[in-house]
Amino acid sequence: MASGTDSMSLSWRIKERAGFTTVEFSGEIDENTDFSELTNRLTGSVVFHLQQVRRINSCGVREWVNFVRDLPNVTDLTFAHCSPAIVTQLNMIYNFRGGATLRSFYAPYICDDCEIEEEKLIDIASNFGEGKEHDPPEFLCEKCGEPLEFDDLPDHYLAFLNEV
């Protein structure tokens, strides 16, 4: 780790499950991120867990797009638990997902009264099925019980769902 910065290079944990593989990513994606080990190793059905990816710089976006575009032995790819940083890229970079199916993502919510900010996990299929409006699901504040407010512009934050 470089001294004087709070940067945290990307790491991952691979777990072999029955019939599929999960990869849990953690840290930041930048020009130093080398995906070649993963490219060679991943086969079959693969699920990326992306909750702990907190930041991606422009060079990192390029590395990522090249990585997900060329996974020769992966038959199907799913992105799950996408962090707000991932959602931002999904909204801006049209091929950020490669051929992946999106399963779930985190969205920012807030209770003004309690000054509580929370990221809530949203399952795409059960909340944004075909023919449904792209309204963010409602969550209640755990402290006061009132509905939390969506802490972004829904049309902006949820734009990537138009391509799901």
Place of tokens 């575009």: 69
**What track of x and - describes contact with Zn ion for positions 51 through 90 (by CB under 5 A)?**
----------------------------------------
Q: Which stretch binds Zn ion (CB under 5 A): 15-23, 29-37, 87-95, 103-111?
A: 103-111
Report phi then psi at 44, rounded to 5: 70, -140
Alpha helices in the chain (DSSP H): 36-41, 58-69, 84-92, 124-127, 154-157
Q: 42, exposed or middle or buried, with CB in 10 Å at 0-12, 13-18, 19+?
A: buried
Is residue 141 a contact point for Zn ion (CB under 5 A)? yes
The DSSP call for residue 148 is P
By beta-carbon proximity to Zn ion, the closer residue of 29 and 148 is 148
Judged by CB under 5 A, the residue of 34, 143, 147, 163 near Zn ion is: 143
By beta-carbon proximity to Zn ion, the closer residue of 53 and 148 is 148
Residue 65: count other Cβ atoms within 10 Å of its Cβ.
17
Cα gap 19→72, rounded to integer Å: 18
Q: Which stretch binds Zn ion (CB under 5 A): 59-67, 118-126, 136-144, 154-162?
A: 136-144
Is residue 15 a contact point for Zn ion (CB under 5 A)? no
Judged by CB under 5 A, the residue of 14, 92, 114, 140 near Zn ion is: 114
* Binding stretches for Zn ion (CB under 5 A): 111, 113-114, 141, 143-144
